[in-house]
Structure 1
């Protein structure tokens, strides 16, 4: 399905019925990278409508020539939410850059967001406190078989570089990578427009939404130490640092992440009764 917005269109998929959750993926892939592993959670957790979106300039979402920044990214997403969920309460799940977008949505729609789950989220920090990169498993024979683009992405994202994880990468991450608008993503926008013009939660001392903040101890892309600042904003938050988990923590430690999200859904459901 598609929704026209001022600076392009948002492609999205809806699963289930009930309380709506807007779900946003990481940069460079599409909504399928979230749907594939989140949907099994809802087989025994009914009553939630999942709205998976392709971020602007990703998947089948289009942007126009006026689209230049994360502010534009957020503007398109908020306009989409206003059209699809007019005057409705909803929750948010955001991974990596999608988590940054989720923070922006909450900042602007504080009274409509019931709860938020942030996975390895990017933050409004120009300098990141990152751990040294480690690789837990490495199949050099596999890596030698890959084309340069796939190898570069797989080595960048994964701390388990074996065939099992590569098949997951191919199933969940790579399809969206092939659709991403690389002309935009590789342009100068990161230098000139990556950060919102307004810091999320600026001027807000506390946010009452049930939150789940899940980070990887070995995440050398977004880190884990900086995220402690979110605990000051969310007094009703679960903060989990997963060992043997890099940026793709939902691949590295899938069952644990799914369990934490189930816990968050339970707290969300209690909050919306």
Structure 2
């Protein structure tokens, strides 16, 4: 489905009925990267409507020439939420850059967000404390058979570079990489408009939402050491650092992450 918004349109897929959960994926892929691991959770849980969106400039969500920054991306998403869920409460799940946008949504719609789940989320920080790149498992023969683009992306994202991870990458991540708006994503947006103009939760001492924050100890993209600021904003939070997990923790530690999300939903 498509929803016309201020600077383009938002494509989204809705599954199930009940309390809405708005789900935001990471940069360079699309909503299918979240759908594949989240949907199995709801084989045991009823009463939730899952709203998977393609972020602006991703998947089938189009942008117009006026969209220049992450502030603009957030404006489109808030426009979608206000159009589709006017006055309704909802929860949020966001991964990586989608987790950064989820923080922006909560910042501007605090009274409407019931709870929030963040997986390896981007923080409003220019400098980050990152661990060195670690590869726990590597299949050299498997990697040598990949073209340079696939291999580079796969090696960047994963600490388990084996067939199981590659199969997930090709079926869940790569389809969205093909559709992503590369003109926008490789533009000067990263240098000039990547961070919000207003820091989320600045001046807010605490947030009442039930929060789940999951990080990977071997995540050399977003790290795990800089999150005390975010953690301290949520007195009602579960904070988990998974060992032997990188930025793609929902693939590399899928069952553990699914169980944590299930517990968060049932709290």
- Structure 2: distance between partners of 1:135 and 1:128: 20
Alignment of 1:128-207 (within 5 A): 128-207=128-207
SS in 2 for 1:63: coil
SS in 2 for 1:94: strand
SS in 2 for 1:218: coil
- Structure 2: distance between partners of 1:227 and 1:47: 31
User: How far is the alpha carbon of 1:220 from its aligned partner?
Assistant: 0.2
Give the match for residue 247 of structure 2: 247
User: How far is the alpha carbon of 1:192 from its aligned partner?
Assistant: 0.1
- Structure 1: distance between partners of 2:116 and 2:167: 30
Give the match for residue 4 of structure 1: 4
Alignment of 1:15-34 (within 5 A): 15-34=15-34
Alignment of 1:39-58 (within 5 A): 39-58=39-58
SS in 1 for 2:192: helix
- Structure 2: distance between partners of 1:65 and 1:4: 15
SS in 2 for 1:221: coil
Give the match for residue 99 of structure 1: 99
- Structure 1: distance between partners of 2:136 and 2:211: 30
Alignment of 1:63-102 (within 5 A): 63-102=63-102
SS in 1 for 2:115: strand
SS in 2 for 1:226: coil
Q: CA RMSD in A?
A: 0.5
Alignment of 1:192-271 (within 5 A): 192-267=192-267
SS in 2 for 1:171: helix
Q: Which consecutive residues of structure 2, in runs of 5 or more, have no partner in the other structure?
A: none
- Structure 1: distance between partners of 2:165 and 2:221: 18
TM-score of the two chains, using structure 1 as the length reference: 0.97
Give the match for residue 126 of structure 2: 126
User: How far is the alpha carbon of 1:140 from its aligned partner?
Assistant: 1.0
More displaced 10-residue stretch of structure 1: 20-29 or 226-235: 226-235
SS in 1 for 2:239: strand
TM-score of the two chains, using structure 2 as the length reference: 0.99
SS in 2 for 1:224: coil
- Structure 2: distance between partners of 1:19 and 1:82: 16
User: How far is the alpha carbon of 1:139 from its aligned partner?
Assistant: 0.9
In the alignment of these two chains, the number of paired residues is: 267
User: How far is the alpha carbon of 1:16 from its aligned partner?
Assistant: 0.2
- Structure 2: distance between partners of 1:222 and 1:231: 15
User: How far is the alpha carbon of 1:79 from its aligned partner?
Assistant: 0.3
- Structure 1: distance between partners of 2:161 and 2:98: 24
SS in 2 for 1:29: coil
Moved >2 Å (runs of 4+): none
